[in-house]
Amino acid sequence: MTAADVAASPAVHLRQVTKAYGPVRVLDVPDLVLRRGEVVALVGENGAGKSTMMGAIAGTVAPTTGTVDIGGEEVAAGHPAAAAAAGVAMVSQEFPLVAQFSVAENLLLGRTPEGTRRGILDRRALHRQAQAALDELGLDISASQRLDTLSVAQRQLVEIAKAWARRPLVWILDEPTSALGPVEAAMVLDLARRLAEDGGAVIFVGHRMDEVLDVSDRLVVLRNGEIVADLSRDQASEEVLVRAMVGAELAQTEDDLPAVATATVLAARGLAADGLGPLDLDLNAGEIVGVAGLMGSGRSRLLHTLFGAQPRTGGTVTLAGTPFRPRSPAQAIAAGVTLVAEDRKEQSLLPAAPIRWNLTLTALPRLARRGYLRPAAERREAARLLTLANVRCRSAEQPIRDLSGGNQQRAIFGRAVATNPAVLLLDEPTRGVDVGAKSEIYRLITDAASGGCSVLVASSELEELLRICHRIIVMAGGRAVADIARADFTKELIMTWAAATAPTSGNR
């Protein structure tokens, strides 16, 4: 076979692949070929069948019917090891890593490091190989660190390095940039292009439309488990993709922002914590303030410090004119400050518990009488929040882990706003959710602000902040380096400040 034949040959071929759970068919792909040398974006709303298709290719999902060929050979269905041996590597949105292991142990998980003899692990070789993989990507991460000491973004980069080190034939990227800042996200997109240029095939799943359109040679749109569009890059635009995803035009939701009151709800002076500050911050009633910055800039630390999840080391904070120093998240919630955390799986959900429990957790004191929970009141509150947040589910009694990422996030928002907070802290509020769910979450944010709530939202998506915020604070090195009014919003200005290269004029 010539080099030209190899380049033109399929990397992945799905034939009559279906997947059904009982009477419900969630995937139906009669024929799909993914070629070497191309980056194919897989696009669709949460629940459209993207995860099922990726799972069928990666061997984590056994199709009900059909076959999956990798590199021209049929691969045993439902066997991840067989798919990996055929050249498939997947970067999962859920980080299938072991928190108690070192970065090196996670990077080479499932692979035998060079130097291993007779089953005895050469730990020096393990760390040497792992550090080389990290250094190749320019990551400032030590192979000897325990994984649970890393941030969500750093764990994402470890997962990417783990897959990249295998130089796969087929690289599946499931929301690979969702936790990353612009610089790290650009690095991942560059790796995807490099793998394709070297003769591999990349399957890219993302909800940031600018990234999807930038990196892809071809875009496959799924709706209700079926392929409804297969487009070249020249045929695709955000409008075309959204119309194919939802089956209609998506209503514009960029309404006028809520009016901002003059009353200051939260004021911080000289606020400092480990890796943060000192910085000053004011939030007014009805104001949506964005927090932008590169990875490691201190965005999450700011929110966690205000929420009482990270100890404050200096400065003062007042809430409605009263000193505010929560020593725990429970105290912050009781005072009227609540957080929607970045990592919903680890920090916000009881995955195996019913949706009802997850919705009413923070409302239990209000729903109890004389120390006893009133089940009927809890069910009514859960039903109210399901409607408020537009959570789509079969029943409030089903486990919340069964919901799509967008519906899980809406449920978390419903729980947060149920406490009628004075201050709502949002850390990457639309991470891993589709365009339709994003619109719903933006509505919940503006509704909360319209009711007088102050909203502080940290996001790595500049388009998101530009769309929903009255002003944007830019952070670098744990400090606020700029406070930009809406009239002055530009991506270039924000990124210049984030990179700590101040423009000749600006609002410091």
Domain ranges of the chain: 3-246, 264-347+405-410+420-498
- Number of H-type helices and E-type strands within the chain: 19, 22
First and final C-alpha spacing in the chain: 61
Cβ-in-10-Å burial (0-12, 13-18, 19+) of 67 comes to middle
Q: Which value, in Å, is the radius of gyration of the alpha carbons in the chain?
A: 24
What CATH homologous superfamily does 3-246 map to? P-loop containing nucleotide triphosphate hydrolases (3.40.50.300)
Report whether 242 contacts 435 (CB < 8 A): yes
> Averaged over 314-327, what is the pLDDT?
93
pLDDT (tens digit, 9 = 90+) per residue, 333-381? 889 999 888 877 677 777 788 888 787 777 777 777 877 777 888 788 8
Residue 57 contacts by C-beta under 8 Å, 6 or more apart in sequence?
A: 12, 14, 68, 70, 83, 88, 170, 172, 203
Cβ-in-10-Å burial (0-12, 13-18, 19+) of 371 comes to exposed
Residue 327 contacts by C-beta under 8 Å, 6 or more apart in sequence?
A: 308
> Averaged over 265-273, what is the pLDDT?
94
Q: At what angle do helices 405-417 and 375-388 cross, to 10 degrees?
A: 120
Predicted confidence at residue 121, as pLDDT, reads 64
* β 201-205/170-174 pair status: parallel
Predicted confidence at residue 203, as pLDDT, reads 95
Torsion of CA 305, 297, 413, 486, to 10 degrees: 110
Q: For residue 165, is pLDDT > 90?
A: no
> Average pLDDT over the chain, rounded to whole?
84
Predicted confidence at residue 250, as pLDDT, reads 46
- HEC assignment per residue over 400-444: HHHCCHHHHHHHHHHHHHCCCCCEEEEECCCCCCCHHHHHHHHHH
Report whether 4 contacts 163 (CB < 8 A): no
d(CA 296, CA 123): 29
- Same CATH topology for 3-246 and 264-347+405-410+420-498: the answer is yes
Predicted confidence at residue 30, as pLDDT, reads 94
* β 226-232/372-373 pair status: unpaired
Predicted confidence at residue 505, as pLDDT, reads 40
Where does the pLDDT of residue 220 fall: very low under 50, low under 70, confident under 90, or very high at 90 and above?
very high
Q: Return the bridge partners of 268, or none.
A: 281, 317
Where does the pLDDT of residue 231 fall: very low under 50, low under 70, confident under 90, or very high at 90 and above?
very high
CATH number among 3.40.1390.10, 3.40.50.300, 3.20.20.300, 1.10.620.20, domain 264-347+405-410+420-498: 3.40.50.300
Where does the pLDDT of residue 182 fall: very low under 50, low under 70, confident under 90, or very high at 90 and above?
confident
Predicted confidence at residue 111, as pLDDT, reads 65
d(CA 185, CA 340): 23
Characterize 428-466 residue by residue with b for buried, 16 or more Cβ atoms within 10 angstroms of its Cβ, and e for exposed: bbbbbbbbbbbbbbbebbbebbeebbbbbbbbbbbebbb
* φ, ψ of residue 400 in degrees (nearest 5): -70, -20
Q: Taking CA 125 as the corner, what is the angle to CA 119 and CA 131, rounded to the nearest 5 degrees?
A: 135
Report whether 20 contacts 28 (CB < 8 A): no
Report whether 113 contacts 121 (CB < 8 A): yes
Closest CA to 106 of 48, 52, 165, 58: 165
Where does the pLDDT of residue 54 fall: very low under 50, low under 70, confident under 90, or very high at 90 and above?
very high
